[in-house]
Structure 1
Amino acid sequence: MAGLQGVENVFQTKDMKFINVSLPWMPERYAMVPQLVEAQLKTEKEAALRYDTKTPRYLHIASNRTNRWGHQRSYRLQVVSFTGDSLPETEPEEKSMSWARYKVAITKHKDSEQTSSSLYSQNNMWTPAVDFSKYIEDDESIENQDLVAWVTTGFLHIPHAEDIPNTVTVGNGGGVILRPHNYFDEDPSIHSPDGVYISPGSEGNCENNKMACFTEDACSPVVEPFTYNGFEGTMKFEE
């Protein structure tokens, strides 16, 4: 993942656990307090997170380089959904879809490991052209390596009457979000060049407010003039 300012990266997890601690002001009393737990996974087998096990809530591909605050620059893998149980591994055909064993798997990049499956596997599911589990069996080190994240995501859809005439898409979906985590020094959107501040009295300026220019376009619909009264009637700021 060269986007992390280089190809020498590591795989980290973060989550919370409760620990029993004595209260400083009442030593005889104890309380369960949440504590951050961080780990760095070192091998491909450690980083193969199976679907039937508890997965840490934060998964990071991190660089050894840091931001201005001294935190490792990283990207978080946020899996939105998962399909659930797949074909049991006891079934001989499962080898052709062994990628479904894992929610997330991190491997060292290899030119010979380009895809998690193959179209040709359907011709012989018992000895598939690509068996993803082989990528993990060699258990190579993933510390300071060019890493690949294999993510399995999806959802279960049971056909129902409301699918007629078109399958409903609202509420269905799955995917993974790649989110910067300590990658920047601050929220980068504050430097967005298209950010425009409109103050009361300047709403008729076509340069900053394209809504004000609709009347100049012969093909545009007729709309009411755009006005903006700021926070009048909602907030009052005292000097």
Structure 2
Amino acid sequence: MQYVNVSLPWMPDRHAMIPQLVERQLKTEQEAALRYDSKTPLPRYLHIASNLTNRWGHQRSYRLQVFSFSGDHLPESQAEERAMSWARYKVAITKHKDSEQTSSSLYSQNNIWTPAVDFSQYIEDNESIVDQDLVAWVTTGFLHIPHAEDIPNTVTVGNGGGVLLRPHNYFDEDPSIYSADAVYFSPGSEDSCDTNRMACLAKETCSPVLEPYTYHGFDGVMKFDEWS
């Protein structure tokens, strides 16, 4: 996204900065290696596209949507950084090779100064990624600092990391319209075998007999008033 200065149709003598979607193709591995410390932010819309088009004439593609990032990376001046050079990049797109299967290796921990796999070498040759089978290497994560509220269990709400690979113009329309019809539950029908097969497990042949679920909190597990 970038801002462009345009005149207002209803006031031609006035101008305004309007956000505009700008398409840019990344053609080499080094162009598609998006570093975590770069002043250029990660593109809001990062697509892996093909030359095939859908019914509407748009390129069929997948959108790579990263919604969490790891923390600051170890300075590259440190000798042991080579063992974790994959963390230099938020996203890196490389040409698929049978010899480049993983971004790291279990054996790197035995000699981090001369790692078995140095991910940065995947990008050094700067091969073309146009009309090639591609691999997307994504670094995600979050930082958790232990605190008192982790006792007796760590709350996971708000903690998470990952990436979404979403179809973008890949289909001609929303494919979910072809899914099976929904099942409607009305209040009081939870125990009906017609709409909820799980309510009838006890009636099935050879079905297990499950004890009723009970919950007694932390009784007998931990007593905070006994702490000194």
Give your verdict on TM over 0.5: yes
Aligned counterpart, 2:85: 98
Aligned counterpart, 2:140: 153
Aligned counterpart, 1:67: 54
Aligned counterpart, 1:226: none
Q: What TM-score, normalized by structure 2, do the two folds share?
A: 0.80
Aligned counterpart, 1:210: 196
The residue correspondences of 1:6-21 to structure 2 (distance < 5 A) are 16-21=1-6
Q: How far, CA to CA, are the matches of 1:172 and 1:163 in structure 2?
A: 13
Q: How far, CA to CA, are the matches of 1:113 and 1:215 in structure 2?
A: 51
Aligned counterpart, 1:39: 24
CA-to-aligned-CA distance 1:106-154 (integer Å, 9 cap, x gap):
0000000000000111111111110000000000000000000000000
The residue correspondences of 1:42-61 to structure 2 (distance < 5 A) are 42-53=27-38, 54-61=41-48
2:71 is aligned with 1:88:
no
Q: How far, CA to CA, are the matches of 1:45 and 1:166 in structure 2?
A: 43
Distance 1:216-1:180 versus aligned 2 partners, 3 A rule: closer
CA-to-aligned-CA distance 1:68-126 (integer Å, 9 cap, x gap):
11111111111120012110111111000000000000000000000000011111111
2:118 is aligned with 1:131:
yes
Aligned counterpart, 1:143: 130
Number of aligned residue pairs: give it: 203
**Counting strand residues as a fraction of each chain, which structure ranks higher?**
1
Query: What displacement does 1:27 show?
Result: 2.3
Find the partner of 1:30 among 15, 35, 38.
15
Q: How far, CA to CA, are the matches of 1:174 and 1:216 in structure 2?
A: 36
Q: How far, CA to CA, are the matches of 2:65 and 2:94 in structure 1?
A: 18
CA-to-aligned-CA distance 1:164-190 (integer Å, 9 cap, x gap):
233332211100111111111111111
Instruction: Report % sequence identity.
Output: 78
Aligned counterpart, 2:220: none
RMSD: 2.7
Q: How far, CA to CA, are the matches of 2:103 and 2:150 in structure 1?
A: 31
Q: What TM-score, normalized by structure 1, do the two folds share?
A: 0.77
Which AA in structure 1 matches 2:95?
Answer: K
Distance 1:206-1:68 versus aligned 2 partners, 3 A rule: farther
Q: How far, CA to CA, are the matches of 1:112 and 1:215 in structure 2?
A: 52
Point out where structure 2 has 5 or more consecutive residues left out of the alignment. Answer: 187-191, 204-208, 211-228
Which AA in structure 1 matches 2:71?
Answer: G
Runs of 4+ in 1 over 6 A off after TM superposition: none
Query: What displacement does 1:60 show?
Result: 1.0
Aligned counterpart, 1:121: 108
Find the partner of 2:169 among 173, 179, 182.
182
Which AA in structure 1 matches 2:25?
Answer: Q
Q: How far, CA to CA, are the matches of 1:198 and 1:123 in structure 2?
A: 57
